[in-house]
Structure 1
Amino acid sequence: MPSPDKQKKRAQRAKTKAKQNRMGKPKPQANVVHPILANPLVNEPFDDVELDLSTFDFKDIEENGFDPAHFDDLFQAMKAGESISLLAMCLIFLQYPVLELVVAEESEDAATDFMMGLLIVYRAIFHEEDEDAAVAWIGSDAFQNAYNEASLILQKKNAHA
């Protein structure tokens, strides 16, 4: 049996090694759907945002439009995502709880109109584009590819959940 002094040294080395392993390298995440989801700005970006979905009135928005100020948290998160990549911005957009609610509860045409409205207002606020320029951007290959990839990533992520 090793001496108490030797045991103490071994324990200290093991402790140091364990600390280095914890600190030195990021833990590999099992079942990572896409590396971009490792970014907390992109993965579940609205977890800490307080939204009362029970007060959301889609019919009122359909009839009267929406106040962009009510969607400032979305637009700010999208702007932060856009600085990472277009894919990150699309992932953030598609995870917005209000949008998820509209997609789940409204017709496809109504949901598409709402999404287009949000994207057009976003482009107007942050890129000073008019509606035609925003619609052209939404129809661009770059946006469509990023949007479709984001949609697939979220489908895979939700399938893992």
Structure 2
Amino acid sequence: MASPEKQKKRAQRAKTKAKQNRMGKPRPQANLIHPILANPLIDEPFDDVEIDLSTFDFQDIEENGFDPAHFDDLFQAMNAAERTGLLGLCLVFLQYPVLELVVAEESEDAATDFMMGLLIVYRAIFHGEDEDAAVAWISSEAFQSAYNEASDILQKKNARGR
């Protein structure tokens, strides 16, 4: 396995390349499930980011918590998408491959706890909120509505086979 420094450099190169690719790819407007998916920062934002799911150890996270630095690609993508609104943020969040893996393979309670942890850390990093404020934000009608809409959009998109 490569050293942490090499992994960091690789991840940075992948992010740079992904951003360059997104900037140069106009999306066709026809057959979009929702107009927000025309935004390349929101539709499949992790396609060009190298994420090795085989090294992901959910049991270790449950026992010891997670290092926010390991989720920097998610948090940066969420922050960029949040500029479009809560729907964009939720769409990016729900498309994160690690999250998709956890939801598919873990119990509903464990997956929910993991998701809450990620959202709480995101709010702490980018909005300076403590856990109570972040939980209030997650529980808000605005967030819940955007989250449910994002989930519906992705279900429709996945039903079409991408």
| Shared fold, TM over 0.5 | yes
1:122 and 2:149 equivalent?
no
Residue matched to 1:108:
108
1:42 and 2:7 equivalent?
no
Q: Return the alpha-carbon distance in structure 2 between the equivalents of residues 85 and 29 of structure 1.
A: 20
TM-score (norm 2): 0.82
TM-score (norm 1): 0.82
Q: Return the alpha-carbon distance in structure 2 between the equivalents of residues 99 and 91 of structure 1.
A: 12
Gaps of 5+ in 1: 1-25
Q: Please say which structure displays the higher CA radius of gyration.
A: 1
Where 2:83 maps in the other structure, the secondary structure is helix
RMSD: 1.2
Residue matched to 1:61:
61
Residue matched to 1:75:
75
Change in Cα spacing, 1:28 to 1:105, as seen in structure 2 (3 Å) is closer
By how many angstroms is 1:31 displaced? 2.1
In the alignment, is the contact (CA less than 8 A) between 2:34 and 2:153 conserved in 1?
yes
Divergent runs of 4+, >4 A: none
Change in Cα spacing, 1:37 to 1:27, as seen in structure 2 (3 Å) is closer
Aligned length in residues: 136
Change in Cα spacing, 1:76 to 1:30, as seen in structure 2 (3 Å) is same
Identical-pair percentage: 84
For residues 18-62 of structure 1, what are the alpha-carbon distances to aligned partners after superposition, in whole Å with 9 as ceiling and x for unaligned? xxxxxxxx8864321000000000000000100000000000000
Where 2:50 maps in the other structure, the secondary structure is coil
